[in-house]
Amino acid sequence: MQDVIRRLVAPDLGAEWEIWYQDTFDRECPRQVEVVGQGLVEGLAELWTRHLFETVQVDGQKGFSRFNLWWKQERKNV
């Protein structure tokens, strides 16, 4: 079983990604790369951390930050 899990996770380990930030309040503010790294699991954790701390508000309202995860090798958003 561990061998199967390793084969499924192995391609993920070398995946290079970028987290992009966009300020949805100030439309003049350009999008920017906030953090880079390797491994899609780590990238997804970074994405959700930023989303939960900066976009989701305590009162349930949506904040002014938007993030997306860019998978460099595949040239697509995840």
The string of pLDDT tens digits covering residues 6-61 is: 555 566 778 999 999 999 999 899 999 999 999 988 999 999 999 998 888 888 78
Domain count, the chain: 1
* pTM of the model as a whole: 0.76
pLDDT at 5 over 80: no
pLDDT, position 69: 95
The answer to whether residue 78 is domain-embedded is: no
The answer to whether residue 67 is domain-embedded is: yes
Domain that holds residue 13: 2-73
Burial of residue 59, with CB atoms counted within 10 A of its CB: 0-12 exposed, 13-18 middle, 19 or more buried: exposed
The answer to whether residue 33 is domain-embedded is: yes
- Residue 34 phi/psi, 5-degree rounding, is -95, -35
Task: Using the structure block, give the residue that is written with the tokens 């391609």.
Answer: 11
Question: Cα(72)–Cα(52) distance, rounded to whole angstroms?
Answer: 23
What string of DSSP letters covers 16-64?
Answer: EEEEEEEESS-TTSPPEEEEEEE-HHHHHHHHHHHIIIIIB-TTS-B-S
pLDDT, position 22: 95
Q: Are 18 and 61 in contact (CB under 8 A)?
A: no
pLDDT, position 13: 73
pLDDT at 4 over 60: no
